[in-house]
Amino acid sequence: MSEMHSLVKRLLDGELGLAELPVELRAEGEWALRLLAAADRRDVRLGAGLDARVMAAVRRAAPEPSSAWRWIVRPFELRLAIRPWAALAAAAVLILLVVARPFGRGVPSASRAAVPESVVVRFVLYAPSAHAVSVAGSFNQWDRGATPLVPAGHSGLWAATVTLAPGQHQYAFVVDGRQWVVDPGAPAVDDGFGRRNSLITVGAPAGDKSL
Amino acid sequence: MKTLALVSILAFAGTPLAAQQGVDAQLAGRVAPDVAAAVRTLADSAMRAGLPSDPLVQKAIEGAAKGVPAPQIIAALETVLGRLDQAAAAIRAAGVAQPDAETVVAGAFAASAGMPASAVTALARVQTAKTPAAALLRIAGTLAAIGVPSPQAVSLVVAAARSGGDVTAVLDLPARVESAVARGVTPVQAAEGLARAAAHGGLPQSPGGGRGNSGSHRP
Amino acid sequence: MERPRVVREDGALDGDVVRAVLAGDVDRYAELVQRYRDKYARYAARMLGSLDAADDAVQDAFIRAYEQLAQCRDPANFAGWFFLILRNRCFAERRSSGRLGKRTSLESDPVAAPDDAGRRLEDEELRQRLQRELMELTPEQREVFVLKHIEELSYEEIAARIGGSVAALKMRMHRAYDRLRERLTREEART
């Protein structure tokens, strides 16, 4: 008989004590307990070299810090033709020039990131009746007081020159401190508050040319 | 040739405690206390789900600056978190086991531009070393924001990515569509025309003079 | 299995470390590796029959756990989740070189800190014989034996860790007892 008696199995499972086995099964029970006692319960320690090997593989797999803006890899200009929006009542015409000229390292670097070459951008708004115009966006914490536009003579145009890091930014104009105006010449996205934000995509500086 | 120095727009702190302190520092003085509390709670949920929390902070600051009432800001924050979660799921559905933060945020941006999750998955699937998913998603979302319907935006981005060139073929797309629109075609017509051109051996010389030789600016 | 709240005097909770790694602080993954490198090493060694194989399996499991870290639903229970990844890796061995059936001598393996020079030769032989025979069991039978009699978990704890009902686990174990008895008594009869 090669099968283990069920009472001996229960002994091994810890459900019975040896003394509870019938006499004729005691020997088998003792043998089985000796077998269990022989199981190798010694601690196993793996070498610390394993840690190094794991971390080497993990660091290889981790994304590089500089890959964050990998999707912008060359400069390009965003030139919008002047739209025939003047016919609209509250129209604003934006002429947006992205000047692909390296500006300099104005942005403090994070510990694992590299410093961006910022790009100079000129925002222009046609708002002849306004008393004050500013631009607020993701690049200035949406602070309507941070970036005022300056009237260009009596043309009705307001303008500001801003330094932006390469990438995509959302913004809107603020007229007279309270009226949020989207840029009619730029793509717009839902802002989540029932309004829209304008979108500007800024490329990295050119290697040589400026406009 | 200047080396392109790129920085992550998402500043991750080293530990959750530091991250929370970073969140508090950014919100201090800018948002109402109940909004700040909501941001902290949602940022914690985001981090537990492996999602970036910075978009929540930025949206809260934006809402406060725009004078939006707190309940509406909090609702918008929940929408942002939902979009991040859905974007991460859509990107994982494309076979990307561990989407990085930049790609997730790009996917959420595409969603905010009206693109469905299936579009996000389709774009993430097409990504290559030269045309990373974050770029494809950002540009597709931008095309949608210009007025290109989502299916045509996806087709155009996919065609440009597969045209064999590098990511510039994709990055140029919004400008090309806008140029075409300025000449009088509708956004969908512009997109379809460009997609056909890309599928048949490459996009034509890109418009917009003054850029110099398009080939010489490659980094 | 209860969710361990692993707190160390010198370090952070597992959940916090996982979140930090997901947030980008990759270097902190080393804390988890250091914490759990040896915790399941014995299980891997007994399942696979050699220290080398255990080393490989644990290393692979840590790398895979990192790659899938965003899918860890409960970062506070990184330990349990990691165990399942390691378990899958141990079970996957049988699909490759068939190493699991090999008779591996552990005698030369510097498996553990030396504990007892006084152990009787007889018991040492029995220990090696048992390990050899364990390798002849199916991986599922071997696993329940290892978890119950080497890791010393209760059937309920085993069920919580790997799933399945207590009754099913007992059945599996009892089949293992039968096979061990059969092979060892046959071997004894030969000697």
**What is the per-residue burial (b if ≥16 Cβ within 10 Å, else e) of A65-104?**
ebebbbbbbbbbbbbbeeeeeeeeeeebbbbbbbebbbbe
Q: Which among A72, A116, A189 has the least Cβ separation from residue B145?
A: A189
Q: Scanning every residue of chain A, which has its alpha carbon at the shortest distance from the alpha carbon of C142?
A: A39
Helix/strand/coil for A72: coil
Q: Scanning every residue of chain A, which has its alpha carbon at the shortest distance from the alpha carbon of C172?
A: A9
**Predicted confidence band at C190 (pLDDT cuts at 50, 70, 90)?**
low
Q: Can you read off the two tokens belonging to residue C138?
A: 């199916």
Q: What is the mean pLDDT of residues B14-40?
A: 76
Task: Report d(CA A67, CA B129) in Å as an integer.
Answer: 11
- Could you tell me the sign of the dihedral formed by the alpha carbons of B33, B38, B39, B45, in that order? positive
Residues of chain B with C-beta less than 8 angstroms from the C-beta of C69 = 50, 98
Residues 24-53 of C with CB under 8 A from A: 26-27, 29-30, 33-34, 37-38, 41-42, 44-46, 51
B7 touches chain C (CB under 8 A): no
A79 touches chain B (CB under 8 A): yes
The answer for residues whose C-beta is within 8 angstroms of residue B4's C-beta and 6 or more apart is A73, A117, A166, A204, B219
Q: Which among C20, C67, C68 has the least Cβ separation from residue B16?
A: C20
pLDDT of residue A99: 33
Q: Which among A32, A46, A59 has the least Cβ separation from residue C41?
A: A46
| Chains in contact with B, counting 3 or more C-beta pairs less than 8 Å apart as contact | A, C
Q: Do B98 and C70 touch (CB under 8 A)?
A: yes
pLDDT of residue C24: 80
CA B182, B185, B190 angle in degrees (round to 5)? Answer: 95
Task: Report d(CA B170, CA B160) in Å as an integer.
Answer: 6
Q: Can you read off the two tokens belonging to residue A110?
A: 């994070």
Q: What is the mean pLDDT of residues B78-82?
A: 93
Q: Above pLDDT 70, what percent of chain B?
A: 83
Task: Write down the ipTM of this complex.
Answer: 0.81
Tens-digit pLDDT profile for residues A29-74: 999 999 999 999 999 999 889 999 999 998 887 654 433 333 443 3
Enumerate helices (H) and strands (E) in chain B, giving the number of each: 11, 0
CATH 2.60.40.10 assigned to domain A119-202? The reply is: yes
Task: Report d(CA A82, CA A97) in Å as an integer.
Answer: 11
Task: Report d(CA B83, CA B104) in Å as an integer.
Answer: 9
Q: Do A72 and B6 touch (CB under 8 A)?
A: yes
Distance of CA C120 to the CA centre of its chain: 27
Q: Where in chain A is the domain with CATH 2.60.40.10?
A: 119-202
- Tell me if C78 sits within 8 A of C18, measured CB to CB: yes
User: B86: number of CA atoms within 13 Å, CB side?
Assistant: 17
Residue B61, amino acid: I
For β-strands A157-164 and A119-126, DSSP reports them as: antiparallel
Positions of chain A with pLDDT lower than 70, given as ranges: 1, 62-117, 203-211
